[in-house]
Structure 1
């Protein structure tokens, strides 16, 4: 007795086709899931990076304040002491050769961390940041400051103009002139990050 097998073959082919479609759909779902997982991991990494950057930025500002206090305690900003360089303390009576950066001109001695030519702040165990700085008097050359040559507090730094101003919180000189000082702080973080902060001292 002959049994027709045409229907059985058709059903077998249909089942195999359905199985292939199901496998293909499963592979597509798996790939999409992997891509979603990778995107999630990247998002988490980005969030952690941003959070770490913000934390480091806040830490940099705090370290800059510490450098400011340290410079005020170690460096004499009145004449005649301020008329000459004091490299071991990171003080210079005139602007130093600098590397142009978006945040301002950073003295090369600070960029290159030249030993014996920059000031340093005792590191805190809580941050492990390395803090160094340079203070520059904004006069074209060393020697006695003059109102006509030096940049004074309140003057336009971009135009390099100067004006004679009198105020209790300015740094006085023997000849009645006033000069501004620029503090540049470098902070090296524990993960190889580096940041610079500049401010004008009066």
Structure 2
């Protein structure tokens, strides 16, 4: 009986080697794709981190400018109380530009900010100076405010020409025998805070005295 041919035994290792070589090529390609995906993910993560840091910095910077603007609000209110230049109601019936005060409503932009605050040219054209500006050389912040009475004209305030506040009864039926509650005019304070790189923040409030 003849023995079986042996050439199959010699070809088997060659066949396996070819399969192993092919598998090694596929693994290399998969590894390259994995590395590319990891590299793209790493770049995206770094960029996301940088954007988060930038956003956090901008929010903190804006918050600081808002806090700085409170100094302008306090200065404006202080000028209308105690020994301030605008304490007298008679004085407030006319413009007092040395205190950044107007006795009538000023023109505003679409956001309700008086146009005199929008730029230095409008400020100077309105006859205002920098004497009342609050400056901080350390933080490089400049605070400027303007006060205008919400009246259509100068002179004595009245319900016909002014927006007025009321200190009337807080509820129930008004007592006709009591004196009529005062109706003081409403004043508007607008503040502009200018920080480094010409960054600006605007604040605004209204009040009656």
The alpha-carbon distance between structure 1 residues 150 and 87, as it changes in their structure 2 partners (threshold 3 A), is: same
One of 176, 192, 200 as aligned partner of 1:186: 192
C-alpha distance in structure 1 between counterparts of 2:117 and 2:94, whole Å: 19
Residue 109 (structure 1) shift: 1.3
Q: How many residues align?
A: 182
Larger Rg: 2
One of 66, 76, 86 as aligned partner of 2:96: 86
TM-score, normalised on structure 1? 0.72
One of 39, 51, 64 as aligned partner of 1:42: 51
Residue 83 (structure 1) shift: 2.4
Are residues 1:142 and 2:158 paired?
no
TM-score, normalised on structure 2? 0.70
Q: Which runs of 5+ in 2 are unaligned?
A: 1-6, 168-179
One of 98, 102, 106 as aligned partner of 1:96: 106
Q: Which runs of 5+ in 1 are unaligned?
A: 156-163, 167-176
One of 106, 114, 130 as aligned partner of 1:107: 114
C-alpha distance in structure 2 between counterparts of 1:37 and 1:127, whole Å: 30
C-alpha distance in structure 1 between counterparts of 2:138 and 2:18, whole Å: 76
CA RMSD across the alignment: 3.1
C-alpha distance in structure 1 between counterparts of 2:89 and 2:34, whole Å: 82
State the SS of the aligned residue for 1:198.
strand
Aligned to 1:170: none
Aligned to 1:172: none
Contact in 2 for aligned 1:183/1:201 (Cα 8 Å): no
